[in-house]
Amino acid sequence: MPEIVAGKVSDFFARPVVAGIELTATLKVGDNIHIKGHTTDLEFTVESMQIDNVNVEQAKAGDNIGIKVSDQVRRGDIVYKVTD
């Protein structure tokens, strides 16, 4: 499946397991994303996202969002949106 760059990981929090992401493209709840880096390779569906601890359905380029991730990600990992 084709992928477009949607942003990059700017932060990671272990409890809860959350990635801070700086977006370069629009992302919404329900989108499939792929986070890839040196030792990172995660693919999953965005179930929720937050801006400043407030749940949002969609975020745009320039926004900093937080999303729950299933495993550790690292600062600088690239976030791809998987397109159909």
Written as tens digits, the pLDDT of the chain (84 aa) is: 799 999 999 999 998 899 999 999 999 999 999 999 999 999 999 999 999 999 999 999 999 999 999 999 999 999 999 997
What's the maximum distance between 2 C-alpha atoms anywhere in the chain?
32
CATH of the domain at 45: 2.40.30.10
Question: Are 15 and 64 spatial neighbours (Cβ–Cβ below 8 Å)?
Answer: no
The two structure tokens encoding residue 79: 């976030």
Range of the domain at 24: 3-82
Read off the pTM.
0.94
What is the total count of domains within the chain? 1
